[in-house]
Chain A
Amino acid sequence: MAAASEFMNNVQDTPLTIAGKRYHSRLLVGSGKYKDLEETRLATEASGAEIITVAIRRTNIGQNPDEPSLLEVISPEKYTLLPNTAGCFTAQDAVRTCRLARELLDGHNLVKLEVLGDEKTLFPDVTATLEAAEILVKDDFDVMVYTNDDPLIAKRLEELGCAAVMPLAAPIGSGLGIRNPYNILTIVENANVPILVDAGVGTASDAAVAMELGCDGILMNTAIAAAQHPVLMASAMKKAIEGGREAFLAGRMPRKRFASASSPIDGIIA
């Protein structure tokens, strides 16, 4: 009799592959909003994530030179760093930030592109995003691009040569969950590059829902960092993503309006 584990090995998932590199974890995490670097380190470790986003900002001139830096706890030797263009409101600023990031990380060319259009919603400026994506792809960057949940724009970004397309599920930092699952589903079904939900996940069940839709992965930050216990939430997200992925591969049962007994009718004593 075959063991369940043996059976599971036969239905093994193909790993997430971004720009030719394979990853075991489908959870990508941000490194912002933590209480301190120690919490960042612990939550990142608990998440099992291999790709970690970082922001590129001006060095504080005159600050204590011995102050520990993020890259000491999230080291480029251990993790794949994903510099983002968060806070950029023009294509030009986003492209500049990516070029600085590439210099900072010794030629590493994987970047997360986001060009924001509005401070209140942090929704992407889609036309500026398309413009920046085109420039960056031509400049040999591997671009993981944050966008809205518009299937046509997602396809357009793929056609421009982006390495992964990352639609929002809800506004950045809102924790509102997967607000438009049908659009996410359409984006996933149309795609030939990895689709990762970026932004909007609030708790583990949201992550599972996104994975059950067939997303290749999820990028999150606030859902972990703003939890009461970030390290525990990081672990919960890891499990939810694994569970959601397996459920997607397993294929869920059809929904029925009325009941269907799980125990046989025959042999009831009454």
Chain B
Amino acid sequence: MEIVLNGESHTLPADCNLERLITDLQLTGKRLAVELNQEIVPRSQFTDTRLKSGDHIEIVHAIGGG
């Protein structure tokens, strides 16, 4: 299925949850925050958050800025 990940189209296996996506992106253990369709998803809910076709996901981290 297709989702929009950080503004880009991204293909996922069917029946994928957020935890799996984070693992596949090799982002496990990184300090990040995730928004699914403009709602924050707490880290504790990654496993229980099933993704569906057309979802918009934003994954952000902290970088240098003033």
Contacts and interface: CB of A to CB of B under 8 A. Distances in A.
Contacts of A10: none
Interface in B9-66: 10, 25-27, 30-35, 38, 40, 42-43, 58-66
B6 A58 contact: yes
A32 B65 contact: yes
- For chain A, give the interface size range: 35 or more
A53 B60 contact: no
Contacts of B58: 58, 100
- For chain B, give the interface size range: 20 to 34
Closest 5 CB pairs of A and B: A55-B65, A30-B66, A221-B66, A103-B33, A65-B26
Interface in A253-268: none
Given A65-B27, A69-B31, A104-B32, A31 B59 contact: no
B60 A104 contact: yes
A53 B66 CA distance: 6
Given A61-B25, A69-B30, A100 B60 contact: yes
Nearest to A66: B26
Contacts of A104: 31-33, 60-62
A103 B62 contact: no
Interface of A: 29-34, 40, 53-59, 61-62, 65, 69-71, 81, 83-84, 86, 96, 99-101, 103-105, 172-173, 219-222, 225
Contacts of A219: 66
B62 to A, nearest CB: 4
B32 A59 contact: yes
Contacts of A61: 5-6, 8, 10, 25, 59
30 contacts: A29-B66, A30-B66, A31-B66, A32-B63, A32-B65, A32-B66, A33-B64, A40-B64, A54-B65, A56-B33, A56-B61, A56-B62, A58-B6, A59-B27, A59-B59, A59-B60, A59-B61, A61-B6, A61-B10, A61-B59, A69-B62, A81-B62, A86-B66, A96-B35, A96-B38, A103-B33, A103-B40, A104-B60, A104-B61, A219-B66
A32 B32 CA distance: 19
Contacts of B40: 99-100, 103
B60 A58 contact: yes
Contacts of B35: 96, 100
Given A96-B38, A101-B33, A103-B33, A57 B61 contact: yes
A75 to B, nearest CB: 10
Contact of B6 (A40, A59, A65, A86): A59
Nearest to B59: A59
Nearest to A37: B64
Most buried by B among A59, A62, A84, A99: A59
Contacts of B59: 58-59, 61
A103 B43 CA distance: 8
